[in-house]
Amino acid sequence: MDYVRLGRTGLQVSRLCLGTMNFGPLTSEPDSWAIMEKALELGINFFDTANVYGWKTGEGITEQIVGRWFAQGGRRRDRVVLATKVYGRMGDWPNEKGLSAYHIKRACEESLRRLRTDHLDLYQMHHVDRDTPWDEIWQAMEQLVREGKVLYVGSSNFAGWHIACAQASAGQRHFLGLVSEQSLYNLNARTIELEVVPACQALGLGLIPWSPLAGGLLGGILRKIDEGRRASDRIQKAAQKYKDQLEAYEALCKKLGEEPANVALAWLLHQPAVTAPIVGPRTSEQLSAPLRALSLPLSDDVRKQLDGIWPGPGGPAPEAYAW
């Protein structure tokens, strides 16, 4: 396993991040534990979750599964760089969502309880909160850092402008501010190259792509459908929409002798701003396959072909649309 610093910090994280969103809704607790055990065996030390995962309001089902695994001991917690998130609705009463200082404090305490740990290594704002001033957000985060309950703060689904505003406010308070941004990023979703990627590079944030396979679209979907393997209605519609591109993409992958999923991950790992794409296996067996992407070389010519099949927005703004 390769390791890299998370943004401008000294923290070393694996180049693949284990996503836990399937734990509970799609993957049983015993299977979830097996996946986490396998991740450590493979050297993956970066685990990502969220208080809303499990999708039963207020229960934090996925965090509970991870917490019960930590509780087994064996230095499990010590070996994991643990990331979770705050923002989503956790109850029906006012102030049970968002990024108010009130909610951040309570949500952090509840995540710590469910995860059975005394601190969060990376506490990520799941979405931007346009109704809460940055001074309030940073005051709350600073307090959690002082108390030792949070080590680093990250964002998720932020625009480049939000990242810039957050860092400007943190800088005025002499606070480290954001160290990472978790964004939708894959060959078929490259909008963040306009402003989010340049913001991360300029301000020293590690980029953590979610949905690196576009929900399965980039995992050889045409071949799988041809083999009679069922895809969701959403993916089937997307496969029809991008049929020509997918045919060219899967043909290129076949020519390379590589699985489409590994090519998609390798492409992300070749992007200079990317720290670690999030992989979300449903079984422990599925976790070994992405390791190929770590050592899969993509020549300039291959990357140029991929850009031709899946064109981005034209590079960073404003050059992408002006001069």
pLDDT digit string, tens, across residues 9-34: 999 999 999 999 999 999 999 999 99
Q: Where does the pLDDT of residue 225 fall: very low under 50, low under 70, confident under 90, or very high at 90 and above?
A: confident
Tell whether 59 is covered by a domain.
yes
Tell whether 316 is covered by a domain.
no
What pLDDT, on the 0 to 100 scale, is given for residue 261?
A: 96
d(CA 85, CA 208) in angstroms, rounded, equals 13
Active site residues: 53
What pLDDT, on the 0 to 100 scale, is given for residue 88?
A: 96
Q: Supply the mean pLDDT for the chain.
A: 95
Q: Where does the pLDDT of residue 269 fall: very low under 50, low under 70, confident under 90, or very high at 90 and above?
A: very high
Tell whether 315 is covered by a domain.
no
Tell whether 49 is covered by a domain.
yes
Question: What value does the mean pLDDT take over residues 149-157?
Answer: 98
What pLDDT, on the 0 to 100 scale, is given for residue 228?
A: 64
Q: What is the DSSP string of 69-86?
A: HHTT-TTTGGG-EEEEEE
The residue behind tokens 């346009």 is 130
The residue behind tokens 């899967």 is 250
Tell whether 75 is covered by a domain.
yes
Tell whether 104 is covered by a domain.
yes
By residue range, what is the domain housing residue 195?
3-309
- Lowest model confidence (mean pLDDT) among 130-139, 151-160, 232-241: 232-241
What pLDDT, on the 0 to 100 scale, is given for residue 323?
A: 79
**Structure pTM?**
0.94
DSSP 3-state of 179:
strand
Tell whether 321 is covered by a domain.
no
d(CA 251, CA 228) in angstroms, rounded, equals 19
CA angle 212, 218, 220 (to 5 degrees): 140
Task: State the total domains in the chain.
Answer: 1
pLDDT digit string, tens, across residues 72-119: 999 999 999 999 999 999 999 999 999 999 999 999 999 999 999 999
Cα-to-chain-centroid distance, residue 322: 31
In this structure, what CATH number is given to the domain that contains residue 13?
A: 3.20.20.100
For residue 240, pLDDT over 70 is answered with yes
What pLDDT, on the 0 to 100 scale, is given for residue 223?
A: 82
Residues contacting residue 117 through CB under 8 Å, at least 6 positions apart: 67, 70, 77, 82
DSSP 3-state of 118:
coil
What pLDDT, on the 0 to 100 scale, is given for residue 230?
A: 62
The residue behind tokens 């399937």 is 22
Tell whether 317 is covered by a domain.
no
Could you give the percent of the chain with pLDDT greater than 90?
A: 90
Token pair in block for residue 196: 């989010």
d(CA 86, CA 123) in angstroms, rounded, equals 7
d(CA 199, CA 84) in angstroms, rounded, equals 22
